[in-house]
Structure 1
Amino acid sequence: MHTEDTEEFLLPRSRLANERLHALIPGGAHTYAKGDDQYPEDLAPVISHGRGAHVWDIDGNRYIEYGSGLRSVSLGHAHPRVIEAVRRELDRGSNFVRPSILEVEAAERFLATVPTAEMVKFAKNGSDATTAAVRLARAATGRPRVALCADHPFFSVDDWFIGTTPMSAGIPAATNELTVAFPYGDLAATEELLTRYQDEVACLILEPATHTEPPPGYLVGLRELADRHGCVLIFDEMITGFRWSEAGAQGLYGVVPDLSTFGKALGNGFAVSALAGRRDLMERGGLRHSGDRVFLLSTTHGAETHSLAAAMAVQTTYVEEGVTARLHTLGERLAAGVREAAAGMGVGDHVVVRGRASNLVFATLDENLQPSQEYRTLFLRRLLAGGVLAPSFVVSSALDDADVDHTVDVVAQACAVYRKALDAGDPTPWLAGRPVKPVFRRLA
C-alpha cells in the first residue's frame, strides 16, 4: 500500500532493478523518455505487469497509469479484443517468405479508416515511417532540404532530426545543414523560409496539432504554401492519429497532407506503424512505374501477422465503441478536476494542465511562473506515493470515473505540498534527491 508520507514510500526492488538495467542497457531503458532520470531519485518504478488502466511494479505497488506506453496503449493494457485478435494469429506463424493475406486486409482496413490516404505501407516504429516520408519527398522533388516544425519535440531517431537536438553527437555537420525549421502557426515565417531556400526544400513536416489547436486557417494555409513552393506536406500523426479522430487530425480538420505517418495508438502497444499518402508518391517506392526506384520501407518484421491483427482490432474497437469520444470525455473530467484541485490549494497558476482533452500534459511552474524541473520532481513524488504514475495526464479509455476521481484527490494532496514549497521559496527540502531531467540534453 502507498503511504501518505513520501519519505516512507520506497521502491527497493525497483531501485536494484534499475541498477541492473543501467549495467546492461545504455540509459537503463529502451526509450529515453522511460529513463529513471525522468523520475525522482530512487522512485522510478520498474513494471511487473499491467491490466486496463493500472500497472503494478515489482515492489508490489499498483498505480493508475497515464501516458501508457508513451501514448501507445490508448485502449488500456491487455485489451481483450486486441489480445484475442493477436492470439488467433500466434499459432499460425508470424513471418513468411511472401506476403500474408493479412497484409492486404490490414491495408484495406487502414485506408477505410483513413480515407484521405490512397496507399499505405506498414513498419515497426515511427522513426522508420517519418524517415521514409522524408526520403520519398526528396526523391519526388529532387531537393535536399527538410523543413521541420521547431515547436514539436520529436520526429525520428535518424540523423535528419536528431542533429537538430542537443543530443547531436555523432551527426555530421553536413547533415545538420540540410534540416531547417519553421515555427508552428506562423505562415509568414514559413513562407519566408521557403523563399530563402527557394527550390531547395523537399518537404514540410509537422504534427498537425499538439498541446495547442491549429490557428484558424493555418493548416489550409500550410497546404497552399506547400503547393505554391512545390514541396511535400507531411503530417506526423503518431500522436494525433486516433486520439484526434479515427482518421487522425487530417480527418478532424479536413486538410489532406501528401504523406502522413501513424503509430503509437495504432497497435495498442504492439509494434506497428504506417506511412500513408498519395498514390503517385507512394508508388515511387513500388514496382508499377518507369522512374528511379525509391528504397521506401523494407522491414523484415514490418508485416508481422499478430501486430497487423492488433492494428485491425484497434481500428474496429475505435470505430465501433466510439473510443475517441470516450478519451475526450475522460480527459475533460480529469482536466477540470486537476484545475479545481490546484486552484483550491492556491497553485492554480503553477500546476497547469494543457492540451486537447485526449492528450493532456501538465506544466509545473515556479514562483516566477517559469517551468521548473524541481517543482516537477516534488509533484511526481507525491503522485507516485499516492498511486498515480503520470509523466503526463494522457488518458486511456480503460480509465473509469473512480480512477479519475482518485487521481484528482492525489493531485490535491500534491498541490498542498506544492503550496508549502512556494511559500518557503525553495522546493529542495521536498525533493529527497536530484531533480528530474529533460530528455534532450547534451551531457548525461
Structure 2
Amino acid sequence: MNHPLPKSAELNQRLHALIPGGAHTYAKGSDQYPQALDPVISHGRGAYVWDVDGNRYIEYGSGMKSVTLGHAHPRVLAAVRRELDRGSNFVRPSVIEAVAAERFLATVPTAEMVKFAKNGSDVTTAAVRLARAATGRRLVALCRDQPFFSVDDWFVATTPMAAGIPDEIAALTVTFPYGDLAAVEELLRRHPDDIACLVLEPAAMREPPPGYLQGLRQLADQYGCLLVFDEMITGFRWSASGAQGLYGVVPDLSTFGKALGNGFAVSALAGRRDVMELGGLRDHRERVFLLSTTHGAETHALAAAVAVMDVYREQDVVGNMHALGERLAAGVREVTEAMGVGEHLVVRGRPCALVFATLDENKQPSQQYRTLFMRQLILNGVIGPSFVVSNALTFAEIDKTVDVVAQACVVYRKALEAGDPTPWMGGRSIKPVFRRYA
C-alpha cells in the first residue's frame, strides 16, 4: 500500500540514519506507534500539533506530559523572548536565578532550598548522591511498579535494557512494590544500616492507600534513610506543589521537571536545607558535587518556569485539567460500554493523567490491540501514547476525541470477535520501550 504519510516516512529514514533509535527520547520512537503512522511533527499550538504532511491532530501526553499549558503558550513565550534579548548564559549567576528560586519555593513551600538543572534524570540522580552522602549508606531503594526515574545506572540497571552496567552497580539498587508498607519495612529490616533513600513517585496510576505516604515518612525516620519524591509528573498536575502539597507529606528531597517549564528544559531538586547545603559553600562537612551544569540556569528556561508558576498562581490550571479528564474518562467509558468493549478498552488513572489499557479477548494487556487502537486514533486526528490532558484542551476537543474512540471501538469489537487483531493493525505491533533486544 502507499504510505499515508510520505514526508514523515522520508524524514523518519533520515532520523534513523543519523540518530540511534530515530529520536532523542525512546518513548517518541517509531516503534511506539503503528507502522507507517509515526508522523514527524512540524509544529504545535495549544492542544494541536501538525505533522510535516499537513495533518492536524488533537494531542495528548504533550511533550511526555511536560506541556500542561499548551504548545506555544503566549505568556511563556513572551517571558522567554524577553530573556533571550538579554543573553542566555553568563560567567556568574543571573538575577533570574534568584527570582526563579524564590518563586519555586513559594510554590512548593514544603522545600527549603532548590537547585535547577535541565532534565529529570539530572536531579533524581543528584538526589540519590545527596542521600548517600547525608547518610553514609550505599543502597538505593526504589519503587519497582513505576516506569522511569533516570537514565543513570542506578535506575537503568533495574530494567531489561541494562547492557553496559556492571553487576556491582546493579547490586546497589533494591526495589519495593507501591502501596505495601509491610514490604518496605521488611526491606529496611533486611538492610538496616545500608539503605540511603526510598525513591518513588508519591502517586501514579492509583491514589496512595490511606496512610501509605505517612507510613513511608515514619519508616524513613525510624530507619535513618531519606524519603525522596519524584514529582516529575505529579508536580503541577496533582497540584502546583505536587503530591506532597496535596497529601500533606513532606519528603526530605523531591524532584520536579516536565510541566515546570511547559516544554522548556528545566528541572529542580528541592528539599531540606541541612541536606541541600551539603552541595553548597556554607557547610563544614565533606562537600557533595551536587549539580554543576553549564546550561542548568539558562535564563530563558528559568523565565519560562517563572511564567508557568505565575499562570498556575492566577488560574485554576489543575482544576481545569481535572474537569477535562473527568469528561474524557466518562465519555470513553460510556462509548466503550455501549460498543461492548468496556472490559477490553479501559481508561485508568487520575483525571489529569489518564492512560488507556488495551486488553485482548482474554482480558490480558496486548500491544497488538494497542497498535490497532492507536492506528484508529491517528487516522481520525487524535495522537498520543495516553489520554493525559493539557489545559489547552476544551470540552469541544474532548467530545471530538470521544467520537473518535467510538469509531475505534467498532474496529476493536471486530478484532475481538475474530480473536485476532492482526488484520486491523496495518503492520507490525508496537513494542515496549524497555526490552532487551530491538
Aligned to 1:26: 20
Kindly indicate whether the alpha-carbon contact (under 8 Å) linking 2:3 and 2:9 is maintained by their aligned counterparts in 1. Answer: no
Q: 1-side partners of 2:107 and 2:3: how far apart?
A: 45
Aligned to 2:179: 185
Q: 2-side partners of 1:149 and 1:268: how far apart?
A: 27
- Which residue, 257, 275, 279 being the options, matches 2:273? 279
Aligned pairs (5 A) from 1:46-195: 46-195=40-189
Kindly indicate whether the alpha-carbon contact (under 8 Å) linking 2:233 and 2:258 is maintained by their aligned counterparts in 1. Answer: yes
Aligned to 1:342: 336
The code of the aligned residue for 1:144 comes to: R
* 1:3-34, Cα deviation, whole Å (9 max, x unpaired): xxxx8881111111111100000000000000
1:308 CA displacement: 0.2
The code of the aligned residue for 2:108 comes to: V
**Number of residue pairs matched by the alignment:** 438
In the alignment, does 2:421 pair up with 1:427? yes
In the alignment, does 2:215 pair up with 1:245? no
1:137 CA displacement: 0.2
Kindly indicate whether the alpha-carbon contact (under 8 Å) linking 1:119 and 1:277 is maintained by their aligned counterparts in 2. Answer: yes
* 1:152-182, Cα deviation, whole Å (9 max, x unpaired): 1000000000010000000000000000000
Aligned to 1:12: 6
Q: 2-side partners of 1:248 and 1:167: how far apart?
A: 30
Q: 1-side partners of 2:322 and 2:383: how far apart?
A: 20
Q: 2-side partners of 1:268 and 1:27: how far apart?
A: 25
Matched position secondary structure for 2:8: helix
Aligned to 2:317: 323
In the alignment, does 2:304 pair up with 1:310? yes
1:301 CA displacement: 0.4
Q: 2-side partners of 1:56 and 1:384: how far apart?
A: 12
1:183 CA displacement: 0.6
Matched position secondary structure for 1:180: strand
Aligned to 1:3: none
Aligned to 1:4: none
Kindly indicate whether the alpha-carbon contact (under 8 Å) linking 1:9 and 1:385 is maintained by their aligned counterparts in 2. Answer: no
Kindly indicate whether the alpha-carbon contact (under 8 Å) linking 2:60 and 2:384 is maintained by their aligned counterparts in 1. Answer: yes
Matched position secondary structure for 1:69: helix
Q: 1-side partners of 2:345 and 2:15: how far apart?
A: 32
CA RMSD of aligned residues (A): 0.8
Q: 1-side partners of 2:99 and 2:369: how far apart?
A: 49
In the alignment, does 2:392 pair up with 1:398? yes
Q: 1-side partners of 2:27 and 2:395: how far apart?
A: 28
Aligned to 2:404: 410
In the alignment, does 2:196 pair up with 1:210? no
Q: 1-side partners of 2:83 and 2:151: how far apart?
A: 30
Q: 2-side partners of 1:120 and 1:389: how far apart?
A: 35
Matched position secondary structure for 1:352: strand
Matched position secondary structure for 1:234: strand
Structure 1 consecutive aligned stretches of length 4 or more whose deviation exceeds 4 Å = none
The code of the aligned residue for 1:355 comes to: G
TM-score by length of 2: 0.99
The code of the aligned residue for 1:258 comes to: D
Aligned to 1:440: 434
The code of the aligned residue for 1:235 comes to: F
Q: 2-side partners of 1:43 and 1:16: how far apart?
A: 12
Matched position secondary structure for 1:85: helix
The code of the aligned residue for 1:283 comes to: E
The code of the aligned residue for 2:381 comes to: G
In the alignment, does 2:344 pair up with 1:361? no
* 1:269-324, Cα deviation, whole Å (9 max, x unpaired): 00000000000000000010111000000010000000000000001101201101
Matched position secondary structure for 1:327: helix
Kindly indicate whether the alpha-carbon contact (under 8 Å) linking 2:3 and 2:36 is maintained by their aligned counterparts in 1. Answer: no
Q: 1-side partners of 2:2 and 2:410: how far apart?
A: 18
* 1:197-247, Cα deviation, whole Å (9 max, x unpaired): 110000000000001000000000000000000000000000000100010
1:248 CA displacement: 0.3
Kindly indicate whether the alpha-carbon contact (under 8 Å) linking 1:359 and 1:393 is maintained by their aligned counterparts in 2. Answer: yes
Structure 2: gaps spanning 5 or more residues: none
Q: 2-side partners of 1:268 and 1:252: how far apart?
A: 21
In the alignment, does 2:283 pair up with 1:298? no
Matched position secondary structure for 2:236: helix
The code of the aligned residue for 1:400 comes to: T
In the alignment, does 2:156 pair up with 1:196? no
Kindly indicate whether the alpha-carbon contact (under 8 Å) linking 2:69 and 2:391 is maintained by their aligned counterparts in 1. Answer: yes
1:398 CA displacement: 0.4
The code of the aligned residue for 1:28 comes to: G
* 1:406-440, Cα deviation, whole Å (9 max, x unpaired): 10000000011000000001001111210000000
Kindly indicate whether the alpha-carbon contact (under 8 Å) linking 1:209 and 1:240 is maintained by their aligned counterparts in 2. Answer: yes
Matched position secondary structure for 1:426: coil
